[in-house]
């Protein structure tokens, strides 16, 4: 079976265009909020793309659930794309947009901790194991195809168990982003974190003393100060599932879609073609640039000191492209806002560049919670001491499954 899938993936790769084949053009290339002149900044462009964490199919990992599949080849591409969009949020959170990966350089400790979150192990908080098993609560059997909305719901649930990265995940409903709800989510989550975390002041202890007592376990086993002092805003991962047409993308949405890649808060787009999920990170002209998860690699195990051979987690060939009109109409947009000022800036950009300039809006941005909607209740972490996959049965009643919004036609 793996041989058949590998042959199919190779056929996909053969027919994909390469960035090197781009025509000589004056048009800028946009990659996750950064623009490049392909004539003069090609090496910088390729370094940027190469620095994104690239998650692909893997094989020979510990069977999911103990008796399930030991490879996600053929079914896990959208889960891998979900990992990539989340990993980009974590890179922005801990390392910043200007950080670049170097093949022979010693990476920052935060980078290695981010990578550990996604290793193909049942105890990694965003592993294929955790995502596939948490998907059971969304009505998906292990080994079944996912759409972007289902992946977004899975990430939202798993993030509740992730104290180190401490993200607030908001997945929009009905093509509508509610500012009031997001601010409630980020500020309430931040207050709860202050109460629960040893990083926050408690009783008669000041913030300085609390910070001095806060230590986190690194992959190598060393202790260090809590990397994130208390704040009044929990960093936001915003995911907006959309359908931009019925069977094909409506051309009226294309300019607005491109504007999203220009925003400094951009995390890219989850989407693809029928049966093929891609992680779109930018565009040039009428073509989208993406990272392709359809390559099967052998699982990577961490070494005794916690370090990981990360060569296979960075796509070192030229990135792939596809015509924007070939995009399946169902996608999910991703954005990261590290603080409230960042979120307010994103709202302003959306109003100016997407809503005011379009007669047919890609999505709505509203100030107040719609009165005809059910009340907004921010999700809270269940009272358990481990990550979500081991508690599928106990958490089913805690999470109400969102309405299905399948993206890819399968």
Q: Which residues of 77-107 are buried (b: 16+ CB within 10 A; e: fewer)?
A: bbbbbbbbbbbbbbbbbbbebeeebeeeeeb
Interatomic CA distance for residues 275 and 38, integer angstroms: 31
Work out the average pLDDT over 170-182.
97
Q: Which of 11, 42, 92, 8 is nearest to 318 (CA)?
A: 42
Q: What is the mean pLDDT of residues 186-209?
A: 49
**Dist CA 234 CA 228 (whole Å):** 10
Residues 6+ away with beta carbon under 8 Å from 232: 187, 190, 340
pLDDT of 199 over the 80 cut: no
Contact 213, 198 (CB under 8 A): yes
For residue 182, is pLDDT > 80? yes
- Using alpha carbons, select from 179, 192, 193, 209 the residue that is nearest to residue 370: 179
Local confidence band at 219 (pLDDT 50, 70, 90 cut-offs): very low
Report helix, strand and coil shares of the chain as percent, to nearest 5. Answer: 35, 20, 45
| Centroid of chain to Cα 52 | 11
Cβ-based neighbours of 3, under 8 Å, separated by 6 or more: none
CB atoms within 10 A of CB 2: 12
Q: How far apart are CA 244 and CA 249, in angstroms?
A: 5
Which H or E element spans position 157?
Answer: helix 148-159
**Distance set, CA 16 to CA 11, 19, 32, 67, 73 (Å):** 9, 10, 21, 36, 19
Bridge partner residues of 266 (DSSP): 335
Q: Write out pLDDT tens, residues 256-301.
A: 999 999 999 999 999 998 889 999 999 999 999 999 999 999 999 9
**pLDDT at residue 218 in the model:** 41
Q: Tokens representing 350?
A: 């959306």
- At 22, the pLDDT band (50, 70, 90 cuts) reads low
Specify the long-range contacts of residues 36-39, CB closer than 8 Å, at least 24 apart: 38/284
- Mean pLDDT for 334-346 is 97
List C-alpha distances in Å: 75 to 25, 201, 343.
37, 45, 34
What is the residue-averaged pLDDT of the chain?
82
Token representation of residue 272: 């693809």
Query: Does the pLDDT at position 158 exceed 90?
Result: yes
> Percent of the chain scored above 90 by pLDDT?
65
Q: What's the token pair of residue 282?
A: 């930018």
- pLDDT value, residue 358: 72
Rounded to an integer, what is the distance from CA 391 to the centroid of its chain? 23
* pLDDT per position as a tens digit, 349-374: 999 999 987 778 999 999 999 999 99
- Which residue from 90, 239, 234, 85 is spatially nearest to 152, judged by alpha carbons? 239
Backbone angles phi, psi at 130, to 5 degrees: -65, -45
Among 1-5, 169-173, 185-189, 399-403, the range scoring the smallest mean pLDDT is: 399-403
Average pLDDT over every residue of 114-125: 96
- pLDDT at residue 217, as a whole number: 37
Q: Which tokens is 168 given?
A: 């607030």
- Please give the Cα distance from 223 to 357 (Å, whole number): 51
In the predicted model, is pLDDT for residue 61 greater than 60?
yes
Helix (H, G, I), strand (E, B) or coil at 332: strand
Distances (CA, A) of 359 to 8, 93, 177: 41, 34, 18
For the chain, the residue count is 410
pLDDT of residue 365: 97
Q: Which residue has the higher pLDDT, 290 or 316?
A: 290
Q: What is the mean pLDDT of residues 150-177?
A: 95
Active-site residues, by number, are 77, 292, 294
Half-sphere exposure of 77 (CA within 13 A, CB side): 23
- Contact between 103 and 46 under an 8 Å Cβ cutoff? The reply is no
159 neighbors 379 (Cβ within 8 angstroms): no
- Cα–Cα distances (Å) from 210 to 163, 188, 193, 206, 334, in that order, read 16, 20, 13, 6, 34
Sequence ranges of the domains in the chain: 2-201+232-395
Across the range 37-44, mean pLDDT stands at 92
Q: What is the pTM of this model?
A: 0.83
Residue 89 has pLDDT above 80, yes or no: yes
């Amino acid at each position: 079976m793996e041989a058949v899938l590998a042959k199919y993936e190779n056929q996909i790769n053969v027919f994909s265009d390469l960035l090197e084949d781009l025509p000589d053009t004056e048009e800028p290339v946009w990659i996750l909020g950064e623009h490049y002149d392909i004539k003069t900044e090609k090496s910088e462009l390729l370094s940027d793309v190469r620095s994104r964490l690239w998650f692909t199919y893997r094989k020979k990992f510990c069977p999911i659930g103990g008796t399930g599949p030991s490879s996600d080849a053929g079914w896990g591409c959208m889960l891998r794309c979900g990992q990539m969009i989340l990993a980009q949020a974590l890179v922005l959170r801990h390392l910043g947009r200007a950080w670049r990966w170097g093949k022979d350089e010693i990476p920052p400790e935060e980078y290695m901790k981010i990578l550990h979150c996604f290793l193909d192990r049942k105890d990694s908080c965003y592993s294929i194991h955790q995502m596939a098993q948490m998907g059971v609560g969304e009505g998906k059997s292990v080994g079944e195809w996912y759409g972007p909305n289902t992946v977004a719901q899975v990430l939202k649930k798993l993030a509740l168990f992730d104290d180190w990265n401490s993200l607030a995940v908001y997945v929009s409903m009905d093509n509508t982003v509610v500012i009031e709800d997001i601010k409630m989510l980020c500020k309430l989550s931040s207050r709860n974190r202050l109460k629960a975390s040893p990083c926050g002041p408690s009783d008669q202890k000041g913030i300085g003393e609390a910070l001095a007592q806060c230590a986190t376990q690194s992959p190598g086993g060393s202790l260090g100060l809590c990397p994130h002092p208390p704040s009044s805003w929990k960093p936001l991962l915003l995911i907006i599932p959309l359908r931009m047409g019925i069977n094909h993308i409506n051309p009226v949405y294309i300019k607005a879609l491109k504007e999203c890649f220009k925003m400094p808060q951009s995390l890219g787009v989850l989407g693809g073609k029928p049966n093929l999920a891609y992680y779109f990170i930018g565009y040039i002209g009428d073509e989208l640039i993406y990272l392709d998860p359809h390559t099967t690699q052998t699982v990577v195990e961490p070494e005794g000191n916690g370090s990981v051979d990360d060569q296979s987690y960075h796509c070192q060939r030229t990135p792939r492209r596809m015509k924007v009109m070939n995009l399946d109409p169902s996608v999910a947009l991703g954005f990261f806002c590290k603080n409230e000022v960042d979120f307010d800036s994103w709202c302003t950009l959306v109003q100016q560049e997407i809503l005011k300039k379009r007669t047919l809006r890609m999505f709505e941005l509203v100030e107040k919670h719609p009165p005809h909607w059910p009340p907004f209740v921010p999700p809270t972490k269940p009272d358990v001491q481990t990550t979500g996959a081991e508690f599928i049965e106990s958490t089913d009643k805690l999470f109400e499954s969102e309405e299905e919004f399948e993206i890819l036609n399968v």
